Amino acid sequence: MKRLLTLTLTLLISTSVVAQGTYTPTAENLASRKEFADSKFGIFIHWGIASVFGQGEWYLHRAQLNHQEYKKAADAYYPHRFDAKEWVKAIKDSGAKYITFVSRHHDGFSMWDSAYTDYDIMDATPYKRDIIKELARECHRQGIRLHFYYSHIDWSRDDYPAPTSTTGYHKRKVTGKDHFDGGWDNYYKFMNNQLTELLTKYGKIGAIWFDGHWDHGKDKEPFDWRLDEQYALIHKLQPACLICNNHNLAALPGEDFQTFERDLPGENKAGFSEGQEVSQSLPLETCQTMNKSWGYVVKDTNYKSLEYLIRYLVSTSGKGANLMLNIGPQPNGEIPAAALERLKGMGEWLRKYGDTIYGTTAGDIAAQDWGVTTRKGDRLFVHIFDLKEKSLHLPLKCKVKSAKLFDSKTHVMFTQDADGVILTFDTVPSGTDYIVELKTK
């Protein structure tokens, strides 16, 4: 019997893979992918009732709380300083081209007026303002793409298949239940109803960014998330809406770009991307925190320096990927001052040097100790972060026609042979990013 069940499950999963395998992106979707790939810089926003505790978005799980107790935070959530106009302006001024807003994280709280739950901003809080509606209106008005993060996990609902999941032990412990009540089918319908709301009530949405697939990565029987049907629904509602899933795997059929958590594509310093194959055809993205946390953590004032963040953005572009940098707003609705300062600094830098970042593809040379390269048509940008001498050898295969400093437009001396190009400077390059522009054949 068990074998028959396994066989049926395997068949079901492979059928869904075949169904997903037939996905052909529409022309609008391809145009949207191109716009996304060219944008290079986006902002991630982790915000919700968890911010009230100031302990990050995993607090419910990490502190082993009963979700009924945790839910009481909703009644204390009154972000009276939230101003969508100010948020969007600060983010636009940073040079970011898209915002990915957490519509519902693993705690299950919805940041919009959802007809499918009372555990949302309108019904469960005294604030009673549809945050997503206000944010969407401003994004559309100020002209910046809006993406939604949507959690596949739900630590509050009984119909989320928690028992077999990696994070589910907490729910079992707190509730004493080892089964789920409403059933997976019910939860799946709930998610699709919510996704339909997000894609029909708030205008054009640039992407849906899923998270939580990994929660069933270690199930004894492979878990079928029924992504094919869910992805098809999204593409039917908004064909240009891109789909991304932070599952730490190679991109699955139906997905339109691939994301990497806290790592550049192909690297695994943070430990989420082990063996994760890098797509050769889809746009790529790296998501990274500004301090060490996603959601607001009161004691985490450990922000990365502006210089570090600029170099990280440039290095991400050097890999042909976008950088999505995270902000965890405070419970009162303000973006922390340290984050605002960094947004301002990124904007100032991008207004001067954005031409070497936006619309570029990966450079010709893999990242080196001294820096990285980015390319736009016949222009190759050499971004020097750290060089100890006045000359730099570039193992280029292409022919260089001219070399000049991006800033001052002064010519840089160069020689070329079969091994590549040697640039010679008057002084040792210094600064956050010393950029040389090469015209190549």
261 touches ligand FHN (CB under 6 A): yes
Which is closer to ligand FHN, CB of 120 or CB of 211?
211
- Of these, 287, 297, 382, 384, which contacts ligand FHN (CB under 6 A)? 287
Contacts to ligand FHN from residues 182-221, by CB under 6 A: 211
**Within a 10 A sphere around the Cβ of 98, how many other Cβ atoms?**
23
Strand order in the sheet with 420-424: 391-394, 420-424, 413-417
Q: State the minimum distance, in angstroms, from the CB of residue 287 to ligand FHN.
A: 5
**Within a 10 A sphere around the Cβ of 143, how many other Cβ atoms?**
9
**Within a 10 A sphere around the Cβ of 163, how many other Cβ atoms?**
14
Which is closer to ligand FHN, CB of 316 or CB of 440?
316
294 touches ligand FHN (CB under 6 A): yes
403-408 LR contacts (CB < 8 Å, sep 24+): 403/436, 403/437, 403/438, 403/439, 404/436, 404/437, 405/434, 405/435, 405/436, 405/437, 406/353, 406/355, 406/356, 406/381, 406/435, 406/436, 406/437, 407/352, 407/435
Q: State the minimum distance, in angstroms, from the CB of residue 245 to ligand FHN.
A: 11
Which is closer to ligand FHN, CB of 57 or CB of 228?
57
Q: Based on the number of CB atoms within 10 Å of its own CB, is 27 exposed (0-12), middle (13-18) or buried (19 or more)?
A: exposed
Q: State the minimum distance, in angstroms, from the CB of residue 297 to ligand FHN.
A: 12
- Of these, 39, 245, 246, 373, which contacts ligand FHN (CB under 6 A)? 246
**Within a 10 A sphere around the Cβ of 292, how many other Cβ atoms?**
13
Residue 220 in tokens: 């004894």
Pairing of strands 379-384, 413-417: unpaired
Which is closer to ligand FHN, CB of 256 or CB of 261?
261
Which is closer to ligand FHN, CB of 16 or CB of 165?
165
Residues 6+ apart with CB under 8 A from 153: 106, 160, 165, 167, 211, 212, 215
Q: State the minimum distance, in angstroms, from the CB of residue 25 to ligand FHN.
A: 24
Residues 6+ apart with CB under 8 A from 7: none
Cα angle, residue 253 at apex, residues 8 and 15 outer, rounded to 5°: 20
Q: Is the dihedral of CA 355, 358, 361, 365 positive or negative?
A: positive
Q: State the minimum distance, in angstroms, from the CB of residue 330 to ligand FHN.
A: 17
Q: State the minimum distance, in angstroms, from the CB of residue 252 to ligand FHN.
A: 16
257 touches ligand FHN (CB under 6 A): no
Binding residues for ligand FHN, total number by CB under 6 A? 7
107 touches ligand FHN (CB under 6 A): no
Which is closer to ligand FHN, CB of 170 or CB of 383?
170
Residue 396 in tokens: 């280029």
Which is closer to ligand FHN, CB of 186 or CB of 279?
279
Q: State the minimum distance, in angstroms, from the CB of residue 242 to ligand FHN.
A: 16
Radius of gyration of the chain (CA): 23
Q: State the minimum distance, in angstroms, from the CB of residue 137 to ligand FHN.
A: 25
How far apart are the C-alpha atoms of 213 and 338, rounded to whole Å?
32
60 touches ligand FHN (CB under 6 A): no
Q: Which residue is nearest to ligand FHN (CB)?
A: 294
Helices 337-353 + 84-93 axis angle, to 10 = 40
Which is closer to ligand FHN, CB of 266 or CB of 359?
266
Q: State the minimum distance, in angstroms, from the CB of residue 326 to ligand FHN.
A: 7
Contacts to ligand FHN from residues 344-363, by CB under 6 A: none
Which is closer to ligand FHN, CB of 215 or CB of 256?
215
- Of these, 32, 47, 50, 57, which contacts ligand FHN (CB under 6 A)? 57
Residues 6+ apart with CB under 8 A from 59: 50, 53, 65, 70
Q: State the minimum distance, in angstroms, from the CB of residue 261 to ligand FHN.
A: 5
Q: Interface with ligand FHN by CB under 6 A: which residues?
A: 57-58, 211, 246, 261, 287, 294
